[in-house]
Structure 1
Amino acid sequence: MVRLSGEITGVNAERIGRRLQKATESRASILEIDLADVRYVSSAGGTAFVLALRAAQDRGTRVIATHVGAQPLGALRQLGLERALDVYEGDAPLSGPFDEC
């Protein structure tokens, strides 16, 4: 799991994206990105998630975002990223398929 905090914008999206890419190197079946402490995601900040999704796809890793607040959720939806990663406003389910909430 990778816990992010603060704001995800064009200023830090590449750095955060590299951090998420590195997390996929473990070849785990799921990469959980905990957004509980993320207050804001800009459209340019969406680049971080795209970088993670590309790396995860290459490794067969599913990407989920948990504890997604209202503003980050709206940004992910606006960018169409909720179709590429599983988004949960709380914890992810403990078992079963991961479906978007």
Structure 2
Amino acid sequence: MRYSKPKNINQIIEKTTFSQIIKKSAFINELNEKIQFLFPKEFKGYYRVLEIEQHNILFEVANAMVRQAFLFNQKKLLELINKEYPEIKEIKFSINPELNSF
């Protein structure tokens, strides 16, 4: 330790798991804001992006009725998402009854 080279603290912090979690969280929050403007107004507040993977995007929806509406409009919604994120090929949904208008 006594003879080790000094290290840049920013480089050390960037490599930590916590830093990666913060970056991913910030990305998901930014994505949620963008998606709110892409999707129809009647869905606003009843969904949020949980995860984005290679070719999938996972939404959390408030109830089965909202999920069905998303499924019914899935092709149109995927086209809207593809304008910003062309790599997304599939939309998945997860129901969370505790999700209220936020």
**TM-score above 0.5, yes or no:** no
Relative to its length, the structure with more strand (as a share) is 1
Q: Which structure: larger Rg?
A: 2
Relative to its length, the structure with more helix (as a share) is 2
The two structures have a TM-score, normalised by structure 2, of: 0.28
The two structures have a TM-score, normalised by structure 1, of: 0.28
